A and B are shown apart, each in its own frame.
With several copies, the nearest count.
Chain A
Amino acid sequence: MDTRDELNAAPDPSATAETGADGEVLYRVHGEPVAELPADLYIPPDALEVFLDSFEGPLDLLLYLIRRQNLDILAIPIAEITRQYMAYIEVMRALRLELAGEYLVMAALLAEIKSRMLLPRPKEADADEDADPRMALIRQLQEYEQFKTAAERLDALPRMDRDVFAAGASVEALEGPPPPAPTLDELMEALAAVMHRASLMAHHHVSTEQLSVRERMSSILDSLHPERFTDFVALLMTAEGRQGVVVSFLAVLELTKAGLIEWGQSEPYSPIRLRRRGTPVDDEEGGPV
């Protein structure tokens, strides 16, 4: 069966003919604002609600549709659920949101079950498993729900470093040779692994910053004091030449951007001075009003 044909056939416009979109509403779909819906889009109002949740897959979506209507999985009204499912899929497609292939496969399956439900069945086979086209799907839904619940319970268990904490003490001066320092290669391999992972996760962006700036950030931060100001010029390390100055300057900018240092000036045009941000609450609350 051709999935696309099925999808185009659904949803049945005679079911709930009510257009929810007037083009001005801002919808958020998976956190992304959607400014305008296509004018010709048919959206059942209930489908819009569904958008507000995000789903782990077609089974999750189906479970949601069933559960929110307090329906029994074992007696799933396939025609109605199929209609709602297709409406969701249709809107997702209209919004050009990326839809995992599994959703389309499920759409096809639902359509198939629905059509098989319409076929006359031999009488004696009425309650037979083979005879009920829903049975495989029902079992799948039950099993998925079982693990969905298990996952929630697993998450609720007290977990180390989140809910409970290990008690440890440091150890110093172990006799014998300490484990070797990492080699540069080892370090690079480890970082390559992280970056590989990070790029898979795609949301994290590791820019090509100059290490010298990073290093300078650390050393400047370390040299600054929360209670005393230091001359900005003194940090520029003119002895290192132009490049050293630039590196220091960029490091100071970075630290400022990160909110780690603050600037002060006793009067206009006087030397700019810096200190580490964060006045210890107990020690001194040093600012004038």
Chain B
Amino acid sequence: MSESTPVDYHTPAERGDDEQMRAVELALEAVLFAAAEPVAVRELKAACEGLGEIDQALLEQALGRLQERYQGRAIELVRSAGGYRFRVRSRFSATVQAAQPERPARLSRALLETLAIIAYRQPVTRAEIEAVRGVAVSSGIMRTLQEREWVRVVGHKEVPGRPALYATTRRFLDDLGLKRLEELPPLEQIRDLADVASDAGLSLAPPDTEEDAGTGTNQRLDFDTGDADLEPVPPTRSL
């Protein structure tokens, strides 16, 4: 069928491009498909070793070309916290689901609530999670969250007993297709008690932490999630 079809699907713009760009593009393609997990920029660079000087601009250009290459296809190159990955475009999700009918188990409300508290309040101790939920958090849930690599222990709180401090991971963001925590849906505002309890100057400080009055509405998302190696966030390309 491909009678006269050229072997290579170069767009006109590429015709004159040099060999290096093409080599880089293919190397990236190989690595990205082999990983099936987000690949950090650092690793992408490592893949291009031996292909000459690869600076950030060249890498980004190659990624851009790759992205372009899959326009109109069933898959797309996307970026999340951990780096770049190919994924099936969401309009083909139903097709994939039909072919893989084993749907992953639903997450329990207990797990989701625990995860939400960790995501928005991190780093947070188990006791703090329990204070918000009003019930004990089962060990099973904490283990499942860590097993799934959505949550990890990032340190210990300097209080008696030195309880573990939990935070979300890069994988958590990757699995939700997010680049950073700030992209999570904002927390619902807590309605101001002052509206009702008014004039007497009710303090709205949360009971546990004195210093950050108004925590209710102010999500502490500026926590370091290891964005370090994401450094050069390329401005959203217009492709």
Q: A and B: real partners? A: yes
CA separation between A160 and B139, bound complex, in Å? Answer: 11
Find out whether the CB atom of A129 lies under 8 angstroms from the CB atom of B203. Answer: yes
Find out whether the CB atom of B113 lies under 8 angstroms from the CB atom of A151. Answer: yes
Assess whether B71 is interfacial by the CB under 8 Å rule: no
Q: Interface with B: A9-17, A87-95, A161-169, which one?
A: A161-169
Number of residues of chain B lying within 8 A (CB) of chain A: 108
Using known A-B contacts A160-B175, A167-B86, A288-B236, determine if residue A56 contacts B135 with beta carbons closer than 8 Å. yes
Q: Hey, which chain B residues are within 8 Å of A281, CB to CB?
A: 42, 45
Tell me which of B37, B87, B207, B225 contacts A164 (CB under 8 A): B87
Q: Interface with A: B14-22, B60-68, B184-192, which one?
A: B184-192
- Which chain B residues have a beta carbon within 8 Å of chain A's beta carbons? 30, 33-37, 41-42, 45, 56, 75, 85-88, 90, 93-94, 96-97, 103-107, 109-110, 112-113, 115-117, 119-123, 131-136, 138-140, 143, 147-148, 150, 154-159, 162, 165, 167-168, 174-178, 180-182, 184-188, 190-191, 193-200, 202-204, 206-207, 209, 213, 215-217, 219-223, 225, 229-230, 233-239
- Which chain A residues have a beta carbon within 8 Å of chain B's beta carbons? 56-60, 72-75, 100, 102, 106, 126-129, 132, 135-136, 138-140, 142-155, 157-176, 178-201, 204-215, 217-218, 221-222, 228-229, 242-243, 246-247, 250, 253-254, 256-260, 262-267, 272, 276-278, 280-283, 286-288
20 more A-B residue pairs beyond the given contacts A167-B33, A167-B34, with a C-beta to C-beta distance below 8 A:
A58-B134, A72-B196, A127-B198, A129-B203, A135-B197, A150-B119, A160-B174, A160-B177, A164-B87, A166-B36, A166-B88, A186-B112, A204-B131, A206-B132, A254-B221, A260-B155, A263-B234, A264-B233, A278-B156, A287-B236
A-B contact pairs, 25 of them (CB 8 A): A59-B133, A106-B134, A142-B216, A144-B132, A145-B188, A147-B116, A152-B112, A168-B33, A180-B105, A186-B112, A188-B185, A188-B193, A189-B193, A194-B113, A195-B194, A198-B134, A207-B187, A208-B220, A211-B119, A211-B120, A215-B180, A218-B123, A228-B239, A254-B223, A282-B41
